[in-house]
A and B are shown apart, each in its own frame.
Chain A
Amino acid sequence: MKKLINTPESVLADALAGIDAAHPELKVDHVNRVIYRAEPTRAGKVALISGGGSGHEPLHGGFVGFGMLDAACAGEVFTSPTPDQMQEATKVADSGAGVLHIVKNYTGDVMNFEMAAEMAEAETGVKVASVVVNDDVAVQDSLFTAGRRGVGLTVLLEKIVGAAAEEGQDLAAVTALAHRVNDSGRSMGMALTSCTVPAAGKPTFDLPDDMMEIGVGIHGEPGRHREKLADAASIAKQLVDPILADMDFTGSPAIVMMNGMGGTPQIELYIMYNEVAKLLKAAGVEVVRNLVGDYITSLDMAGCSVTILKADEEMLKLWDAPVNTAGLRWGV
């Protein structure tokens, strides 16, 4: 394992210290491992809190700031944060207007956020709503599993719903919008290499040099299948086809994210974006906004994911609203 770390045990603490050092506009609670905006939540504004295992940066800490999240709870690498962290974040970030928990659909995240919501409501009376993001079409037979995983759509949802909270929508409206975004987007990912969890010290799975894993998650979980490495055009088709098979994206503008998994250079992401854009055009999907880059990663895994969101007029307006975070910034 070759990594820029001090010790495997101190990865999270050291990274949080770095975020603290780099971003005076953020406030880091090192004990509870929560990243807040430096300014307290404005009175009357619904607070958005997300969180999850670390290793997916810039998600979630990189999306704390004006127009997106109010707080992000950081767990150990690929391990859900704990309810006490989330309860503390909920209490601190609440302005009285209530809190929306944005949870990616993983068993640990869902159970810990559920416990946190129960504890926060019981002990402090904060109104807590939640949305569980589950956009990964790679998970088939979702009735017989823990359900579809929450992946790339989380980024788009945090942006759009963050803008709605910023403009003063109440908890019920913000929550309804969050569910609408979740219902309107799908993702699919692939890997060229495994990731290496610092504490494990070796790659999570073996993937021979000439093979790729299609339908991979963001923790080195296996995908739908493995096959011989192919060119970008064929890989793009393998990502786009299952998404379009799952949902009809025609007849409405779409936002597309070509996301890097952490170990893939941007030049390759642009090659992939081009292939994806061609396929979507041929399929009659009108792409009106896009993101190309590393937004929800899997440590050092090489690979990418595609997220497509069928955006209505309100979502597009909120997408274009100003945002000022370490990981996403425009209009300010």
Chain B
Amino acid sequence: MVVTSAPPDLQHLDQSWQKRLETLLAAGRSAGADLVEVFLERTDHLGVLAEQDGITSVSPAFGMGAGLRVFRGLRDGFVSTNDLSEGGLLEALDQALGMLGLMRSSAGLSGFEGLAPLRDHASTKTDWLERCPDLAQATARLLEGTAVLERHGQHLQVRRGSYARDWQEVLVAASDGTFARDVRLHQSLGLNVLAADGEHRSSIGRRYGSHGRPEQLQQWDADASAREVCESAGAMLYADYVEAGQMPAVLANRFGGVIFHEACGHLLETTQVERGTTPFAEKVGEPIAHEAVTAIDEGLSDGAFGSLAMDDEGMEPQRTVLIENGVLKRFLSDRAGELRTGHARTGSGRRQSHAFAAASRMRNTYIAAGPHTPADLITSVDRGLYCKSMGGGSVGPTGQFNFAVEEGYLIENGQLTKPVKGATLIGEAREVMPRISMCANDLDLAAGFCGSVSGSVFVTVGQPHIKVDSITVGGR
């Protein structure tokens, strides 16, 4: 029998929830579940769009919800709901238990010894939301951004600035005693332009993101960002289409790291081991990349978009060395991944929201710096492609990856020559990783969003300049 407790505060996810959560967890355990986990969240989102010299959209949103997951053996059932009332949570628990053939009962012994003392990662973050810019400040800064685009750009048909602020308060409780709270604050700024001159067109965008920095928007260097975007748009406006073929490529730092993220990072998540879709499942301790490559995933870098004080299963993140000098060292793992594959958790259990069960996901993922200068890499190529800026990419179910080159240049006789557009880099991780033969000394990170089994999550990709000895370039 579930005992009704004093109602917790719906406007705060804190210690006041302990009793209700313990009751819920005990009910799940006494029904026969091996483990019950509850994820509660409250969110507050603001999106602002500036186009040309006006604000065209202001989109606030707020919400709350819960995700309940019940494990028995290797199986689990997951239910999400917007209803955080006692009745709503019990209904969700019943549904999750029913998925595993279990029913709540007053007879069962729970074996649940209560929640551990709350690990409160949010105590120093309670003023984050208030310290963020208000609507007037946010709109003013965005309009400043689109104005400086106009100042620095030529042939700009469209100028856009966007700002998104995502505040999230989470409380995680599990029947193994886990009880943890956090507040997250992600802000991102984007500048996009479309340049057009007759039949020539180029579209360029940049995103700047942070975590846990309420003053990011105030501190943003709009002028520098606008210059960067306009320079790229100008360079690409009259670019020819790249000629398709197999060639060496030098990928610039920062968002160039999307190649590792897509080509290899996803294959080092235990979700892929569970599905049997990674070629690296049995390769721990073996070389899978060129010895020049050391790759890391961590959630610790101060202010980085993919950083977190705890993952969405209540575990503190780690610095996980994935590949060291070409040798595979670790997989990224969450609770279910550890259960089903044996790879120990790494604080990588992440989800977009309460509506998704956590899964092993990347955080800040990058290739470590090497000994070379970026110029060393370019001068080593007779004829190839320099990828200064990347668009998005994806990896298929058999490991083929692809990603678009937003800004590219031909390398001829060790020199950058003319800009080229329309390039897509395609390949397969197993084949490309051994071909990353040189890493420069200019590691830098860039913010991004990663969509996968547990929704879209904030990530950082990164790398120094790297050289891939040979890769397929799709073009015209």
A and B part of one assembly: no
